[in-house]
Amino acid sequence: MQILDGKRCSEFYRAQISEIVKKIIAGGNSAPRLSLFMIGDNKNSELYVKLKEKACRDAGIETRVHVLSENASEERLKEMIYEENADPETAGILIQLSLPGKFNESRILEFMDPARDVECFLPVNIGGMFLRNDTKIVPCTPLGIMKLLKYYEIDVAAKEVCIIGRSNLVGKPLALLMLSANATVTVCHSKTRNLAEITKRADILISAAGRAGMIDDKFIKPGAVVIDVGSSRVKKADGKYEARGDCDFEKVSKVAGHMTPVPGGIGPMTITMLLYNTVYNYILMKKLDITMNI
């Protein structure tokens, strides 16, 4: 059983992204900038924004973080997003979700210039991804999964790929990417009957159910590649919390051929792809003669 090490793979990609940023700056350009919005008091959001800030800094990407109180008006938020839209050095805008209940998330996301939507949240961008093969920006988690498989030279073409979960962020866009890469794709979800029977057919199983430990050895075809996107917050015996994947690692690892751990699997890849998208987007926006063939 081989561990698919998302941390190692992230380091590999981040080093390359870093090199590209250096090349951009050496060409007389300013560093690409990611502008983040954090609204309201939310410990999780704070943690994620900090992680993203640090990852950007390490890669040479500039960040600008706007922190607004929950009392901020939608009008004010719109104004600030519009300012970022108009800034030629802002390569990406990220609005940290979830927003406090009083805000209409999809309406606020729509304030973003689609050309700066580095998470591929807007309909026009997800539609572009759906329709084209010469995809521009792709959602970070599905992209991270594809890049992890590429890093480990696991080819998906003509393989049976099974995805558990049909979310807008993972399951559905990943299904599209896998189809473009010539996989035969099955999407399962909470209403699927005989789940284990279906997942057991898969050469590559991706679980994005968000239910800690729901997948054990009975769900796995011997030798399969297993990607665990789950990350549930679970209370341990000592009262502390930890992130737990969808897979029962001990049981699954006895049957699978390759497997991502939680933590240290898809988590770091998602943030790495945010860096990737920001730099890629900057190159597109500025029409730089730099290819990002990584």
Looking at beta carbons only, is 71 or 168 nearer to a second copy? 168
Looking at beta carbons only, is 123 or 222 nearer to a second copy? 123
For 171, residues 6+ apart whose C-beta sits below 8 A from its C-beta are 163, 164, 165, 187, 189, 208
Catalytic site residue from 10, 35, 52, 207: 52
- The answer to whether 167 is a known ligand-binding residue is yes
CB 209 within 8 Å of CB 246: yes
Looking at beta carbons only, is 55 or 94 nearer to a second copy? 94
Closest contact distance (angstroms) between CB of 188 and a second copy is 5
- 78 forms part of the interface with a second copy (CB under 8 A): no
The site map against a second copy for 139-178 (x = CB under 8 A) is ------------------xx-x-----x-x---x--xx--
Mark the segment that binds a second copy (CB under 8 A) among 16-24, 64-72, 188-196, 205-213: 188-196
What is the arrangement of strands in the sheet containing 33-39, beginning at the earlier edge strand? 62-68, 33-39, 90-95
Q: Which two tokens stand for residue 182?
A: 């010539």
- 188 forms part of the interface with a second copy (CB under 8 A): yes
Specify whether 52 is catalytic.
yes
Specify whether 2 is catalytic.
no
CB 271 within 8 Å of CB 13: no
Residues serving a catalytic function are 45, 52, 96
